[in-house]
Amino acid sequence: MAQLGRSGLDVFPICLGGNVFGWTADEKTSRQVLDAYVAAGGDFIDTANSYLLEHGQSESIIGRWLAERTDRQRLVIATKVGGGKKYRNLRPETILREAHDSRERLQVEAIDVYYAHYDDPETPLDESLGAFDELVREGVVRHLGASNYSAERLEEALSLQRQHGLAEFTVLQPHYNLVEREFEATLLPVALRWNLAVLPYFALASGFPTGKYRPGGEAVESARASSASKYLETGGAEVLTALDAVAKEHSVSPAAVAIAWLLQRPTVAAPIASARTVEQLEGILPAAALRLSEDDMARLTGAAGGD
């Protein structure tokens, strides 16, 4: 299990991303993936009010699935506000309204982790943070997280929360994976200073580490193909070679190795990975128990051009 920083929550070290539910996975398949994840010991599910329709289709699918389970109390459900197109802001009225709407769609008494999905520079921080604090005090939300903030804005928000005695962000969800390393130079120092649990999104870089995208390979039919294939132009081939070698040594998939690498990076608690089929999920789950050696870590990190 992984501890989420100062939140006190203990969770499975792989968070199941719900962004594909209702998009590349229909409701029947989404339920199968959710069932398989929980059967394997998983207990941490991530979604958002904007996945993938403005009215939270992913949340609704998860909510209907949750309503049929008897183990709801052991599951940790995270969702977000401030994304999408229609309500991409963090005005207090948006935060308060959308939290209650998300709770209804998810069919839960309280949202375990509630994220500010994107920073909103047009709304004063103290107003947004006050609304998040109100939700925690009312019991609508248990813990708070931040995503897609610059280091400067995140530091400012955390300082204001501490200064005014408001409920604090304890979880950070940044874009971070083996081929996307900007986090290490920007947000990592903030996460270390404030003891934030880091839950990287796009942990599998739009599917690139799975090995589907290779130099000279056939075109892949996927909604994320253009995002993943771009890494071949920025040194990704070397990463694939290293992933293949380490995966072979451990008899696991390259995707599992990519997630295991993240799990052994500073501050990372539970990378977020989505699966549109049970078969994809089965390739990811071994990462939870996989321990890479120092040589493995150095090989992977070096291939990605890092330290």
Per-residue b or e along 118-136, where b marks 16 or more CB atoms closer than 10 Å to that residue's CB: bbbeebebeebbbbbbbbb
Two tokens, residue 15: 């968070």
21 SS3 class: strand
Q: Which of 37, 51, 87, 176 is catalytic?
A: 51
Asked whether the beta carbons of 48 and 88 are under 8 A apart, the reply is: no
Residue 64 Cα distances to 44, 104, 174, 287, angstroms: 16, 11, 28, 28
Cα separation, 211 vs 114, in Å, equals 33
Please work out, in degrees rounded to the nearest 5, the angle formed at the alpha carbon of residue 258 by the alpha carbons of 255 and 260.
Answer: 110
Asked whether the beta carbons of 147 and 174 are under 8 A apart, the reply is: yes
**Is 115 in the active site?**
no
- Specify the DSSP element, H or E, that contains 281: helix 278-284
Mind telling me the catalytic residues?
51
